[in-house]
């Protein structure tokens, strides 16, 4: 059985993951409006991935005999600057999510909730990958600079993400 404190914390994480999905969908919308379909594709894939993370937590609560309490999802920003600025925001957001996952893991240790520790290990590893991918794209965007031709090449590459 999941403790009430752990259940509440995981419910909050569900909300954070859904917000992440919503944020990346807003960023995809921005890129569609900027005629950067590859960047939009990358964000759409990321949005679906974050939604799947929320659903992992959702199912986990039920698997442990708990109750899910869904909260309103905050409205994400709708105005963004350059692709580089967007990806810097993505990295900053993922770093925030990493801190939240680590905090959940700390709570699972405090609660002596060994099944949650095992489940959260997957998310800890996932966050390492998320931050690595974002950092690589930021580094590439910094190399591209203001070159429209290079930005279009990057857009084509990001369109390949499935």
Domain CATH for 105: 1.20.1260.10
pLDDT at residue 160 in the model: 97
The span from the CA of 42 to the CA of 30, in Å, is 12
Tally of domains in the chain: 1
The whole-number pLDDT of residue 147 equals 96
Query: Nearest to residue 7, comparing CAs of 127, 116, 103?
Result: 116
107: phi > 0 → left, psi -120 to 50 → alpha, else beta; which? Answer: alpha
Confidence of residue 63 (pLDDT cuts 50, 70, 90): very high
Question: Whole domain around residue 34: which residue ranges?
Answer: 4-158
Q: Average pLDDT in the 115-138 region?
A: 98
Token duo for residue 68: 């899910």
The dihedral built from the CA positions of residue 125, 107, 14 and 37, taken in this order, carries a sign that is negative
Are 120 and 105 in contact, with CB atoms under 8 Å apart?
yes
Portion of the chain with pLDDT greater than 70, in percent: 100
Neighbouring residues of 26: CB distance < 8 A, sequence distance ≥ 6: 76, 77, 78
pLDDT digits (tens, 9 = 90+) for 81-91: 999 999 999 99
Which residue, 54, 136, 51, 148, is CA-closest to 100? Answer: 54
The per-residue pLDDT for range 64-119, each reduced to its tens digit, is: 999 999 999 999 999 999 999 999 999 999 999 999 999 999 999 999 999 999 99
User: Among candidates 4, 6, 48, 9, which has minimal Cα distance to 25?
Assistant: 48
pLDDT of residue 56: 98
């Amino acid at each position: 059985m999941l403790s009430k404190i752990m259940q509440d914390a995981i419910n909050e994480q569900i909300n954070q993951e859904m917000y992440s999905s919503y944020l990346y969908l807003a960023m995809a919308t921005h890129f569609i409006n900027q005629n950067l379909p590859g960047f939009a594709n990358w964000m759409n894939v990321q949005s679906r991935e974050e939604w799947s993370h929320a659903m992992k937590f959702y199912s986990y609560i039920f698997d442990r005999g708990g109750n899910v309490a869904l909260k309103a999802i905050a409205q994400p920003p709708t105005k963004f600057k350059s692709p580089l600025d967007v990806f810097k925001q993505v990295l900053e957001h993922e770093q925030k999510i990493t801190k939240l996952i680590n905090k959940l893991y700390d709570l699972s240790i405090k609660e002596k909730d060994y099944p949650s520790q095992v489940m959260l290990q997957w998310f800890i590893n996932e966050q390492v990958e998320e931050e690595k991918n974002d950092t690589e794209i930021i580094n590439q965007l910094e190399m591209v600079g203001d070159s429209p031709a290079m930005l279009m090449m990057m857009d084509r590459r990001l369109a390949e993400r499935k």
